[in-house]
Amino acid sequence: MMRKLKSNWQSIALTVVVLLSLFISWIVWTNPFPYEGARHESYSNNQSQYTPQSMGDVYLPTKAIETNKKGSQNQLHSPKANLILSVKRELESWKLGRTNVVKQNNSDVYLSYLRRRNSLMLTYPDEVPSSVFNETFSQSIDTDRVNQINHIVIPLNGQHEIYLLGDHHYSVYRVRVEKGNFSHIRRLLTSMEQIPVDHKIINGVAVMMYPHSFELPELGYQITAQNIDTLSASLMSTNQHTTITANKNGNETTYTDGTNRRLIYNRQNGTLKYENYLSKDDRESTSQIFSHFYNKLTAIGMPLDNLRYDEVSEQGRRLNYRAYVNSFPIFNSDGYGEVTLESTSSGNERYWLSLYSLQVPLPIDHQMVKLPSSTEVINQLHATNRMRDIKDLRVGYIWKSNSVNNHVVKLVPTYFIKYRGHWVEYTELEK
C-alpha cells in the first residue's frame, strides 16, 4: 500500500492540486460577491459621519403598488408604517437565484407585468443599476445580465420568483427565489392606506396615473438650516495645506482654495454651488457613481433621513436626491431639500445644494386636500397645448419658500409635471 502511494505520489499530488483549483474556480465563478462586497465595503468606509442611513437606505424604491386578484391597483402609503423599509429588511434575508430575460422591447408585455395581478410592486423614482439593487437588498444577482431596474414585482400567489423591470428597452427579468417568505410580505400590506392607481405608457415612458380624485393630508415641518461655516469647511477640506479664501460679491460669497476648487454661496437664498476641477484620470467611473456620490453626501454631512435618490441623467453621471415624506416627494422652486451631484466626463465635479432641509415633523391640524384625478389634470394640460413637452407626472408635496415664518413650513399635496426637463407644479402650466 505504502509502496503504491510512494510510486504514485506525483499523480496523487497532481490530482489534489487540480481538484483544489477546480474548487477555487467554482467559488470564484458561482459567487463573485466577495469581490464586490469588498469593494463596496471599502467605499462605505470613507463615510466618517454617524448617519444611520446606509447606501441602501438612500437608493430605495419610493412607491409601493399592490395589484389585487381582479387587477385593480392601489398605491400604498401610511403616515406611520414604513412599508418599503420593512420589505427591504425582509428581502435582505431572502436568497435569490438564477436570473433570466423574459422579454425585451415589447411594451404590451411590459405593461402586463406592471399590472401583474396579485402582486406587490416597488417602484424606483428613476432607474438604478442592478449593482445598487444588490447592495440595497444584500443580494448578488447577475449584474451582467440585468442592467437597469425601475420596478421590482413580487408576486403574492405563491410563485417562487420575482420580476425586475427596466423601463429602458422594456426589459423584464425573472429571478428565482431560492429562499424567501412571501407571507411575511403579504402581512405587511394590511396596515396600509390605499390610493387607486393605474399604469400607462405615455410618450414611451411608463407613468403611474391616478384615475380617481383622492385626498391627502397637509403636513407641517420645521426647517433646519445647516451652518455655512461647517458646510463650506467640509466641502473645501483637504489633506493638503492650502489656504481657502472667501470673497464677497453682492449676495454671493465665493470660497476658493487657489487651485481647482470653488464654492459659491448665495447668502440671500442659501443655495450653494460647488465645483472641483479634477483631471480626466481622477474622475469616478460611471459604474461607481452611485456609491461615490453616496459617500460624498455623507462626507458633506447632509442630513440623510428624508433624502432619497430621485433622478439620474441620461449619461448616468448626474444624480439628483430629493426629500421625501411618507413616500411622497417634496418640491421647492429654490431647490431646498434637494441635492444634485454631477461628475462630468471631462472630470469636473459639481454639486448643487442648499442650507435648508426638512427634519422635524410638526403636529398641525392636518387638513385634507382634495386632488383631482390625473386624467383631469392631463385634459387641462391638453387644453394649453403643452402636452408634447410633458414627460412624467407625480403626486408630491410643495414646499413654498416665501412663507411668512421662516422656521416652519406647511407642505401641501399637489401634482407635479415634468415639463421640458423640470418638475413644475401643474397649476403653473395652466396659466
- 347 torsion bin: left (phi>0), alpha (psi -120 to 50), beta (else): left
| 370 belongs to the binding site for another protein (CB under 8 A) | no
Exactly one of 128, 188, 312, 325 binds another protein (CB under 8 A); that residue is 325
The residues, ordered by sequence, that sit 6+ positions from 128 with a Cβ below 8 Å of its Cβ are 59, 148, 149, 150, 290, 309, 312
> Beta-carbon neighbour count of residue 329 at 10 Å?
21
Quick one: 113 or 328, whose CB is closer to another protein? 328
8 Å CB contact between 353 and 300: yes
Q: How far is the CB of 284 from another protein (least distance, A)?
A: 19
Q: How far is the CB of 212 from another protein (least distance, A)?
A: 24
Distance CA 325, CA 120 (A): 21
In terms of Cα–Cα distance, which of 307, 379, 298 is closest to 336? 307
Site residues (CB under 8 A) for another protein, limited to 10-29 = 10-11, 13-14, 17-18, 20-21, 24-25, 27-28
| 71 belongs to the binding site for another protein (CB under 8 A) | no
8 Å CB contact between 161 and 92: no
Q: How far is the CB of 345 from another protein (least distance, A)?
A: 29
Q: Which residues pair with 397 in a beta bridge?
A: 330, 413
| 45 belongs to the binding site for another protein (CB under 8 A) | yes
Q: What is the DSSP letter of 1?
A: -
- Which one of 38-46, 137-145, 179-187, 415-423 is the stretch in contact with another protein (CB under 8 A)? 38-46
Exactly one of 2, 285, 365, 402 binds another protein (CB under 8 A); that residue is 365
Site string for another protein, 219-248 (x = CB under 8 A): -x-x--------------------------
Site residues (CB under 8 A) for another protein, limited to 374-403 = 403
Site residues (CB under 8 A) for another protein, limited to 51-70 = 51-53, 57
Distance CA 308, CA 132 (A): 13
Distance CA 103, CA 403 (A): 50
Q: How far is the CB of 198 from another protein (least distance, A)?
A: 25
Distance CA 19, CA 27 (A): 12
Exactly one of 7, 30, 42, 402 binds another protein (CB under 8 A); that residue is 42
Exactly one of 101, 362, 368, 383 binds another protein (CB under 8 A); that residue is 362
- Which one of 120-128, 261-269, 324-332, 383-391 is the stretch in contact with another protein (CB under 8 A)? 324-332
Distance CA 165, CA 124 (A): 10
Q: What is the DSSP letter of 104?
A: -
Site string for another protein, 72-91 (x = CB under 8 A): ------xxxxx--x------
Chain CA centroid to CA 323, Å: 11
> Beta-carbon neighbour count of residue 105 at 10 Å?
9
What DSSP string runs through 363-391? -----EEEE--HHHHHHHHHHTT-GGGEE
Q: How far is the CB of 413 from another protein (least distance, A)?
A: 15
Distance CA 352, CA 320 (A): 9
In terms of Cα–Cα distance, which of 235, 324, 290, 337 is closest to 44? 290
- Which one of 30-38, 132-140, 173-181, 280-288 is the stretch in contact with another protein (CB under 8 A)? 30-38
- Which one of 41-49, 116-124, 332-340, 371-379 is the stretch in contact with another protein (CB under 8 A)? 41-49
Where do contacts with another protein occur on this chain (CB under 8 A)? 10-11, 13-14, 17-18, 20-21, 24-25, 27-28, 34-35, 37-38, 41-42, 44-45, 49-53, 57, 78-82, 85, 218, 220, 222, 303, 305, 325-327, 359-365, 367, 403-405, 407-410
